[in-house]
Amino acid sequence: MPIAVYINSITFAPIHCKIMRNIDIQSLMRRVCFFVVVAVLLVAGGSKCVAQINTDQVMNIGRNALYFEDYILSIQYFNQVIKAKPYLADPYFYRAIAKLELEDYKGAEEDCSLAIERNPFIVDAYQVRGIARQVMRDYKGAIADYDEGLKQMPEHQVFLMNKAVCECEIGEYASADSTYAQLTAIYPNYANAYLGRAQLRLEQKDTVAAIADIDKSISISKNIAGAYVMRSDLHIRYDKDFKAALADMDEAIKLEPRYTGYFINRAYIRYNLDDYFGAMADYDYALQLDPANVTAHFNRGLLRTEVSDNNKAIEDFSFVLRSEPDNLLARYNRALLYSKTGQYREAVADFDAVLAVYPDFDAGLYARSECKRKMGDMAGGEKDYNRARDLSQRKERLAEVRKDDAEEQDDQNAADRAESAAAVMNKFNTLLTVENDNEMKPKYENRKRGRIQDFNYRIDLEPMFFLSYYDRSDNVVENTYYIKEVTDLNQLRLLPFVLLLTNSQFRLYEDQIESHFRSIEYYNGLLATSTARSVDYFARAMDFMMVKNPAEAINDFTRAIEMSPNFSLAYMGRSYARYMQMQIDENETPTGQEAAGRRTATTVMGQSVQSLPGNVQGLPSLDGRKASATMQQIMDDLEKVCELSPRNVYAIFNKGNLYMRMQDFTAAISCYTEAIEIKPDFGEAYYNRGLVYLQLGNKANGIADLSKAGELGILPSYNVLKRMTN
């Protein structure tokens, strides 16, 4: 069988817009009151121990952990409260939120039900349970929850949006249309409402109305990637306008430059525009983002086959088969390539696997026959050839019979066999390489802290650096953040874990959490029975930081400083512990919670964004004197670090962030500039300085800094560049 026969059957992943959860976790978290707490060491097991715990303190620590996205840690705390006071509704509700974020949807649903049993007036519990049910495709159950929530809050945006999506899913189009009409009447500038209604119009086969709604959504907000993806798909499906589809997919990629599926989709579009080089580049980049992506490997293998890069195509199909051993299409492709490159034994093995499932696949028999003959197995080759010829002849006879409309009952078995072979060929020619999730769903709201792209033009500074035992980098370029004092302390081996510097929060697993509780207990005993050392207080402070108890961490860092006044890392640790405590304090009062829901809109070079000064990382401002006193303490600690370690660029960077909190833009720029002069590849400093320049209206310097930050691996830079240059 000539290889060209297969080349004609190339299939690529379709444009897809996967549905996302509409979880407004931020609004749920506004309901959480955070308090200054004292450390509570939890001892597992024993009813006597349970009775002794202070449930108010444990609940507060659990909510702190939930706020900082340490979901497993928060669940442990809520479990303790439930064990002590199972009649309370709140711990079940908060545990449901943690489970929802961990994608334990059934557990979240059950916990919400338990919370509602104890207090049926927790509106947020209906929202969380509705979302969990919606993800599990229990649309009627989700609608019931949203209706219950709407009884108490008739104009709730998320309830209305998700209800409409669910009604569309179960085919209640008239009800969905009514819900969308209500939603757009209340929120006429809510872009996602029009995007959701566009999906409804497509379900109703009204393409013109769907495109009008997508255009309306984009006119309201040009920063929703899903809208461009939907329109790109419509350009392909309805008018084969691949150039327009490419333009829309380019926009989606600018907004979400790390979503692998968009590059796979753009590669498909570029392939249809005969831009093989561009398609190959997109597959390569998709695999840089997600090296284990089977779809990208499969499609790149097909493209490499077409350009006769056969050995590399074999590598791609081999990767697919390691992940999906039963993928017969990949195995058949590899068999043909093995045959073409003279690896006949390997080709026969792959053909054997395909023909074991489809024994009447005549094209496969022809190909295996040729391989066997070239290996010297003339008898085996002739046997395959004769069987393939018989199957082909039967198909030809069947076609003639159908054409003359004179099919005889006696030929039914032969016809069935011929049809089976034809079905196999059709399967190989039309099989998609991914599950067809091409239904264009409205993108759920998913406002997670730290995400740059969202619907409210939220732009955040790169966060402060802090000492930790864990790191999680989201950048393309993996950075090593080095200061001499950390290396020196690690070399002394006086800490239970290896210390490092990061600005990324790390979610601890159960065994890690337990290890820090054990470490705290160890240092409790050590400090009670032995001569205290500053490093021991420092070590226990770090453990308290890992379990999100900054109040006790501050106390221990202070003790370490009192014993060793030149202990620069203790000052740096205390500065961030105070910053963490400040974040908790800011959410303590109702006014703080209300402020958390409001971001000040401002204009940067003609673009509406959320105000950076005084509201870094989406946090409300502390009230007056307390804010000033707290920030001054943090600044004093950072100044002391810089005095003891003048080239500590991370302390200087943190000062810049703190000056931004104080709305002292000139001082902030000065700090970022000083950090860059010491460390010219400091991408985070370029990024933050670029944002400040844009905030001040200095477009040239802002764009230059963001471009440099992107080059150094700070991916959100490209998103901001897109917004600022349109």
| Span 546-563, average pLDDT | 95
Which pLDDT does position 725 carry in this prediction?
A: 61
Q: Model confidence over 352-372: pLDDT tens digits?
A: 999 999 998 999 999 999 999
How many domains is the chain partitioned into structurally? 2
Burial category of 285 from C-beta neighbours within 10 Å (exposed 0-12, middle 13-18, buried 19 and up): middle
Tell whether 498 and 421 lie within a shared domain: no
Bigger pLDDT: 451 vs 111: 111
Residues with Cβ within 8 Å of 234's Cβ and at least 6 positions away in sequence, in order, are 207, 210, 211, 214
| 635 token code pair | 């600044």
Examine residue 645 and state whether it is found in any structural domain, yes or no: yes
Q: Is the pLDDT of residue 519 over 70?
A: yes
Tell whether 471 and 423 lie within a shared domain: no
Which pLDDT band holds residue 704 (cuts at 50, 70, 90)? confident
Tell whether 368 and 481 lie within a shared domain: no
Q: Is the pLDDT of residue 601 over 50?
A: no
Q: Model confidence over 423-434: pLDDT tens digits?
A: 433 322 322 223
Q: Is the pLDDT of residue 6 over 50?
A: no
User: In this structure, what CATH number is given to the domain that contains residue 700?
Assistant: 1.25.40.10
276: helix, strand or coil: helix
- Tell me, what DSSP letter sits at residue 528? H
17 contacts 562 by C-beta, under 8 angstroms: no
Which pLDDT does position 464 carry in this prediction?
A: 95
Which pLDDT band holds residue 99 (cuts at 50, 70, 90)? confident
Tell whether 686 and 633 lie within a shared domain: yes
Sign, CA dihedral 239-242-244-248, equals: positive
Which pLDDT does position 176 carry in this prediction?
A: 95
Residues with Cβ within 8 Å of 58's Cβ and at least 6 positions away in sequence, in order, are 40, 42, 77, 80, 81
Taking each helix axis as running N to C, give the angle between helix 55-67 and helix 568-585, from 0 to 180 degrees, rounded to the nearest 10: 100
Tell whether 589 and 705 lie within a shared domain: yes
Examine residue 504 and state whether it is found in any structural domain, yes or no: yes
d(CA 408, CA 418) in angstroms, rounded, equals: 15
| Span 37-63, average pLDDT | 56
Helices (H), 550-698: 550-563, 568-585, 590-596, 624-644, 649-661, 665-678, 683-695
Which pLDDT band holds residue 318 (cuts at 50, 70, 90)? very high
Residue after which a domain boundary falls, among 413, 430, 447: 430
| 14 token code pair | 């379709």
Which pLDDT does position 588 carry in this prediction?
A: 58
d(CA 213, CA 220) in angstroms, rounded, equals: 11
Tell whether 635 and 555 lie within a shared domain: yes
| Weakest-pLDDT range from 309-313, 360-364, 711-715 | 711-715
Which pLDDT does position 481 carry in this prediction?
A: 82
pTM of the model: 0.61
Which pLDDT does position 335 carry in this prediction?
A: 95
Examine residue 19 and state whether it is found in any structural domain, yes or no: no
Examine residue 187 and state whether it is found in any structural domain, yes or no: no
Which pLDDT does position 671 carry in this prediction?
A: 96
Tell whether 640 and 596 lie within a shared domain: yes
Bigger pLDDT: 65 vs 618: 65
Q: Is the pLDDT of residue 152 over 80?
A: yes
Bigger pLDDT: 67 vs 151: 151
| 15 token code pair | 């444009």
Examine residue 56 and state whether it is found in any structural domain, yes or no: no
635 contacts 486 by C-beta, under 8 angstroms: no
Q: Model confidence over 581-593: pLDDT tens digits?
A: 988 887 654 443 3
Which pLDDT band holds residue 471 (cuts at 50, 70, 90)? confident
- Tell me, what DSSP letter sits at residue 259? -
Which pLDDT does position 589 carry in this prediction?
A: 47
Examine residue 36 and state whether it is found in any structural domain, yes or no: no
Which pLDDT does position 480 carry in this prediction?
A: 67
| Span 343-353, average pLDDT | 95
Examine residue 314 and state whether it is found in any structural domain, yes or no: no
Tell whether 365 and 486 lie within a shared domain: no
Which pLDDT does position 177 carry in this prediction?
A: 95
Tell whether 422 and 484 lie within a shared domain: no
Which pLDDT does position 454 carry in this prediction?
A: 33
Q: Model confidence over 413-426: pLDDT tens digits?
A: 544 444 443 443 33
| Weakest-pLDDT range from 83-97, 140-154, 209-223, 480-494 | 480-494
- The pLDDT > 90 percentage for the chain reads 58
93 contacts 111 by C-beta, under 8 angstroms: yes
Cβ neighbours of 128 (radius 10 Å): 26
Q: Is the pLDDT of residue 528 over 70?
A: yes
First vs last C-alpha separation in the chain = 53
Q: Is the pLDDT of residue 238 over 70?
A: yes
| Span 630-654, average pLDDT | 95
| Span 2-24, average pLDDT | 36
User: In this structure, what CATH number is given to the domain that contains residue 416?
Assistant: 1.25.40
Tell whether 563 and 496 lie within a shared domain: yes
Examine residue 159 and state whether it is found in any structural domain, yes or no: no
For strand 601-604 and strand 607-610, is the pairing parallel, antiparallel, or unpaired?
antiparallel
Tell whether 411 and 482 lie within a shared domain: no
Domain ranges, residue 347: 342-430
Tell whether 394 and 532 lie within a shared domain: no
Secondary structure of 25-56 as H, E, C letters: HHHHHCCCCCCCCCCCCCCCCCHHHHHHCCHH
Which pLDDT band holds residue 495 (cuts at 50, 70, 90)? very high
Which pLDDT does position 407 carry in this prediction?
A: 47
| Span 271-292, average pLDDT | 94
Bigger pLDDT: 250 vs 616: 250
Kindly report the average pLDDT of the chain as a whole number. Answer: 80
Amino acid letter for position 67 = Y
